[in-house]
Amino acid sequence: MPPMTCALVERLQTIPDPRRQSENLKHPLVDLIILGLCGVVAGCEDFVEIAAWGKVNAVFLRTFLALPHGIAAHDTFTRVFALLPPATVQAVLLPWLLERRGVPGDYVHRDGKTLRGTRCQQRKLKALHVVSAWAGQSGITLGPVAVAAKSNEITALPELLKLLDLHEKIVTIDAMGCQKAIAETIVTGGGDYVLAVKDNQPTLHAEIQTAFAQAPAPKLRSPRIATTWDKGHGRTEQRTVRVLPALEYLSAAQCALWLGVLSVVMVTREVWCQATGVQSTEVSYLLSSLPPTARRIGRAIRGHWSIENGLHWVLDVVFREDARRVYERTTAENVALLNRLALSLLRGDTSKDSMKVTRKRAGWSIPYLAQLLGFPST
Say yes or no to pLDDT of 4 above 60.
no
Domain shared by 143 and 115, yes or no? yes
Who's near 152: CB < 8 A, 6+ residues apart? 129
pLDDT one-digit tens code per residue, 123-176 = 888 888 888 888 878 888 887 888 766 656 777 788 788 878 888 999 999 888
Using an 8 Å Cβ cutoff, are 27 and 65 in contact? no
In DSSP terms, which residues pair with 140 in a beta bridge? 135
Query: Is position 2 within any domain?
Result: no
Angstrom distance (rounded) from CA 30 to CA 22: 17
Query: Is position 173 within any domain?
Result: yes
pLDDT one-digit tens code per residue, 181-234 = 999 999 999 999 999 999 989 999 999 999 999 999 888 789 999 999 888 778
Say yes or no to pLDDT of 257 above 50.
yes
pLDDT one-digit tens code per residue, 23-75 = 778 999 999 999 999 999 999 999 999 999 999 999 989 988 889 999 999 99
Query: Is position 91 within any domain?
Result: no
Could you give the strand order of the β-sheet that contains 128-135, starting from the edge strand earlier in sequence? 140-147, 128-135, 107-115, 170-173, 192-197, 279-288, 263-273, 235-245, 225-232
| Cα four-point dihedral sign 300, 305, 310, 314 | positive
This prediction has a pTM of 0.86
Domain shared by 293 and 198, yes or no? yes
The structural domain count of the chain equals 2
For position 336, what pLDDT does the model report? 93
Domain shared by 74 and 118, yes or no? no
The kind and range of the H/E element at 130 are strand 128-135
For position 1, what pLDDT does the model report? 45
For position 142, what pLDDT does the model report? 81
